[in-house]
Structure 1
Amino acid sequence: MTENTAPGRPGIDLPDARGRTGLDRQGRDLTGNPRVRIHDVEVLACDWSVLRRTTFDYQHSDGHWSRERRETYDRGDGATILLYDPDRRTVLLTRQFRLPAYVNGHPDGMLLETAAGLLDGDDPQEAIRREAEEETGRTVHEVEHVFDAYMSPGSVTERLSFFAAPYDGSAPGADTAGVADEGEDITVVELPFTEALALIRNGAIADAKTIMLLQWAALEGPFGHR
């Protein structure tokens, strides 16, 4: 019996580890900006996320064209939520290990954050309810959509949907949470809102999405003046 050794590239004409093909077609048909002409899209890696290198022609403000090449990291879109108790003036955050922060100078990689996660094909509101329960042990029903933002538009494609919702701080809650099968080991942290703001100033909260939601809460959210 002869083994099939037909050539193929995972994620392109062969399924990758997640069963995906055609990953090199992402972005080839974009026409929204007449000053951008996509020339080629290459898949450099496709494990859980996808790293692409796109070659395109760009027309500058003075009219001349140049050939550009950029890498984009596609991990899918996500959502995050600030859980708050307006009566007790507290917020519910999570603490977990983040390797990228650890290798880039964070003392221990343990970041204080708002609950968050990838959409995984769900509607953003459905996804954030799921993530809030998984990461904090709290069931969230009605959520408020605050805004959407590209978190690192120079290289990462992710668009994050920001939400907020009240929680009942008087009800018992878990101290730890997370999905063990996904390697999550999350500590649930309840803080007075003023203390959370102070942790931004001294650098103890260094996560962008968390800073954005806390500042929204102070300016026009539940702890601001609407």
Structure 2
Amino acid sequence: MSIADRVQVHEVQTLSADWYVLKKTRFSFRRSDGDWQEQWRETYDRGNGATILLYNLDRRTVILTRQFRYPTFVNGYDDLLIETPAGLLDQAEPETRIRAEVEEETGFRVGIVEPVFDAFMSPGSVTEKLHFFAAPYAPQDRVSAGGGNIEEGEDIGLLEMTVDVALAGIRTGTICDAKTIMLLQYAALHIFR
């Protein structure tokens, strides 16, 4: 039996369609024991995205970004967030979009892009699926200053650090972004063994 056979949607209300789309849905779900249970859930649809870890094996370094994130600020995080470059797909294929996004944010034009995995980042309320990539870089691959898109409110700084410093940043809390932690852990296991 498909999960679709276990869900009956009764009502969908759009609560907000400003920045992204917030909906409240009343549905019934057929439980494992066969009983139907009515539930309400809010879902936040911001579209799917992609993220990438740039790495240099010879230098044992990675490229990360630093930027202001209002949601983390209002949750008590009083610093710029250190992250892997990322962005929404905006109807593009994940690899196409991440190539453009990494150049816009970091100024690096990447060659080989390796798909790593896909993950739902907050499946209890956010519909977004994130496509994870990794790509090697060299200093000569930098074709512009990067910094993001001013029209989108981006003011992105660039960090180049050793993978060991980045991994230590996870332990100290300097790096606390989930997608970045996931890619750094992947790199520790599969790239910088």
Shorter-chain TM range is: over 0.9
Which residue type is aligned with residue 108 of structure 2? R
Query: Which one-letter code corresponds to 2:192 in the other structure?
Result: F
Instruction: Verify the 8 A CA contact 1:88 1:169 in the aligned structure 2.
Output: no
Give the number of aligned pairs: 192
Rounded Cα–Cα distance in structure 1 between residues aligned with 2:141 and 2:92: 28
In the alignment, what sits opposite 1:71? 42
Number of the residue aligned with 1:8: none
How far apart are 1:140 and its partner, in Å? 1.2
Number of the residue aligned with 2:125: 155
- Give the partner amino acid of 1:34: D
Bigger shift: residues 36-45 or 90-99: 36-45
State which of 8, 17, 20 in structure 2 corresponds to 1:49: 20
Could you tell me which of 167, 177, 188 is aligned with 1:207? 177
Runs of 4+ more than 2 Å apart: 169-176
Give 1:219's match in structure 2, choosing from 186, 189, 192.
189
Which amino acid in the other structure matches residue 130 of structure 2?
L
Say whether the 8 Å CA contact 1:175–1:188 is kept in structure 2. Answer: no
- Identity percentage of aligned residues: 58
Kindly state the Cα deviation for residue 64 of structure 1 after the two structures are TM-superposed.
1.8
The residue number in structure 1 matching 2:51 is: 80
Mapped partners of 1:214, 1:150: distance in 2: 17
Q: CA RMSD in A?
A: 1.5
Q: Distance in 1 between matches of 2:4 and 2:66?
A: 41
**What's the CA shift for 1:42?**
1.1
> Could you tell me whether the CA contact under 8 Å between 2:50 and 2:87 is conserved in 1?
yes
Range with bigger deviation, 55-64 or 187-196? 55-64
Q: Per chain length, whose mean CA-contact separation is higher, i.e. which structure has more relative contact order (CA < 8 Å, sep 6+)? A: 2
Unaligned 5+ runs, structure 2: none
Structure 1 stretches of 5 or more lacking a match?
A: 1-30
Over residues 130-175 of structure 1, what are the superposed CA-to-partner deviations in whole Å (9 max), with x where a residue is unaligned? 0000000001122000000000000000000000000103666766
Normalized per residue, the structure richer in helix is 2
**Amino acid corresponding to residue 9 of structure 2 in structure 1:** I
Q: Secondary structure at the match of 2:139?
A: coil
Cross-structure match for 2:94: 124
Q: Is the 8 A contact 2:50 2:88 kept in 1?
A: yes
TM-score by length of 1: 0.81
Alignment-derived partner of residue 12 in structure 1 = none
